[in-house]
Amino acid sequence: GNSVTQMEGPVTLSEEAFLTINCTYTATGYPSLFWYVQYPGEGLQLLLKATKADDKGSNKGFEATYRKETTSFHLEKGSVQVSDSAVYFCALSEDAGNMLTFGGGTRLMVKP
Amino acid sequence: DGGITQSPKYLFRKEGQNVTLSCEQNLNHDAMYWYRQDPGQGLRLIYYSQIVNDFQKGDIAEGYSVSREKKESFPLTVTSAQKNPTAFYLCASSPPGFVGEKLFFGSGTQLSVL
């Protein structure tokens, strides 16, 4: 079956530091990959996506590249802000209409 | 504004009690979902419904029940059979087609046991 593994948190960084949150996946086919973000007390929002190998998803300064050879989709940001403090979820979906498989989530805390 | 409304934001359950979590959407989406979120764990699918009057069990349906009598509404009942109900519950909806990039979430309900 499909699975998504994320690095455990919390990840604590100072403002303007470089961020990497690791995500690797297991899938039987060729999934689409997603990063969702959950701000405190809220539901999840789609942050970025990539639908095929070597695609780079980007949004709000965050980037992730679909690496088929390493089955990875690591999230990066060059300079984090306090407002980026949230829980980040990596997820995959194989087919149209198929359910999402989520990773365990990684909490990011950014200190001023 | 279109969106998904979950209520209440906080809910407390006594032993042996059934409680119902509300989820309403005005996005005209066909599909609706219930997820459970536990600390440090990913979201786990409880139930989903792709059309009115039809729903399917997800990965952790035991101890839960749902109904889908209207397109806009997908209430979740946590029954007394669910022995560990304390969690954050998220409702979501999506239009037909590819789920991943069109999944909209509500703000969640925190359920705790008294």
Q: Testing the interface with B: which of A99, A101, A102 to mutate, by most B Cβ within 10 A?
A: A99
Q: Are A40 and A109 in contact (CB under 8 A)?
A: no
Q: Are A90 and A38 in contact (CB under 8 A)?
A: no
CA distance B90 to chain A (A): 7
Q: Which of A78, A31, A91 is nearest to A55 (CA)?
A: A31
* pLDDT tens, chain A, 112 aa long: 788 999 888 999 999 999 999 999 999 888 999 999 999 888 889 999 999 999 999 999 999 999 999 999 999 999 999 999 999 999 998 865 567 889 999 999 999 9
What local confidence, expressed as pLDDT, does residue A28 receive? Answer: 84
> What is the Cα Rg of chain A in Å?
13
Q: What is the mean pLDDT of residues B96-110?
A: 82
Burial class (CB in 10 A: 0-12, 13-18, 19+), B64: buried
The residue in chain A having the minimum alpha-carbon distance to the alpha carbon of residue B104 is A45
What local confidence, expressed as pLDDT, does residue B32 receive? Answer: 94
Tell me whether residues A104 and B100 touch, CB distance under 8 A.
no
Q: Are A48 and A64 in contact (CB under 8 A)?
A: yes
Looking at beta carbons, which residues of chain A come within 8 Å of B61? none
